[in-house]
Structure 1
């Protein structure tokens, strides 16, 4: 008489492990591809509520004082609070994903077309055009001032504010970056533009 064995077939375990590994790989690839193919070049607000509310909240919410006045997306210009000895209280913040450029604390005078062209060398992804346009707007709005610009950071989150100090070498622009562990697939270049009154 034959009796059946109750020991598990080792090949079944290997097949199951291979199937689970393959399934995990598909889920990972699917998740990454959905991040990469968002259907456009616009950014989404990670802090936006997942469901829109139709009635405003009666409870006031406290907002941090060191946040940009507008949320940024590629090519958008936002205003940002500035402090420091230079007396500048507000700056424009222009950004672009993989916009290039090298961060520097030294602001460059952008008072001629050649100065703007020199400043945007090495920038890409539409950032040179956005910077040029914003500088032209600054010059038009403040004819008695000189436009300045600085690449303040490259990373995943914009600075919350900047400190602009006047020194012997010109204006020093230091960003207040958020303390975060956010990681992104592509760094964003953040450029600060401001107009300083002519002496």
Structure 2
């Protein structure tokens, strides 16, 4: 029985390996959010439906729960943030999102949006934002993805976009 459980757990995120290099699956640290959007490095896209945006934070926690969605949620009130973090049933990811929301000064004409961009072995290095038919947040590819992990990592992207992009 323990062997079966271990095999199912290890098989959840990829192929077999010795597991010695799997440190990211246990990492529950967050990126440091900026409380001054002017100090963030804006990721600017032009053409092809790209949207100008400021990446506020890429937050993550191991086995936090949630479901991925390219469609972001507008985070413009404490109630909206509470609804967004409700699916995060384990770890401190919900608290990370709430703390970042409270600490971020959102300039006039901008709106904070969030999305669960990844659930897997790796934390994406960043995101892109586009608006072909509707606003979407897409994770950037991980350069050297882990072949397996002991538990999936839930990654949330929080970005500021022009308010016109979400109406």
TM-score (norm 1): 0.57
Pair 1:176-2:140 in alignment: yes
Q: Does the residue aligned with 1:195 lie in a helix, a strand or coil?
A: strand
Q: Which residue of 1 aligns with 2:92?
A: 126
Partners of 1:89 and 1:121 in 2: how far apart?
25
- Distance 1:154-1:173 versus aligned 2 partners, 3 A rule: same
Q: Which residue of 2 aligns with 1:105?
A: 70
> How many pairs does the alignment contain?
131
The alpha-carbon deviation at position 82 of structure 1 amounts to: 4.1
- Distance 1:167-1:154 versus aligned 2 partners, 3 A rule: same
Structure 1: gaps of 5 or more residues: 1-34, 36-42, 46-71
RMSD of Structure 2 on Structure 1 (CA) = 2.9
Partners of 2:56 and 2:66 in 1: how far apart?
19
Structure 2: gaps of 5 or more residues: 1-18, 34-40
Partners of 1:180 and 1:75 in 2: how far apart?
18
Q: Does the residue aligned with 1:77 lie in a helix, a strand or coil?
A: coil
The alpha-carbon deviation at position 181 of structure 1 amounts to: 4.5
Q: Does the residue aligned with 2:68 lie in a helix, a strand or coil?
A: coil
Q: Which residue of 2 aligns with 1:192?
A: 157
Pair 1:135-2:101 in alignment: yes
Pair 1:76-2:30 in alignment: yes
Partners of 2:42 and 2:140 in 1: how far apart?
10
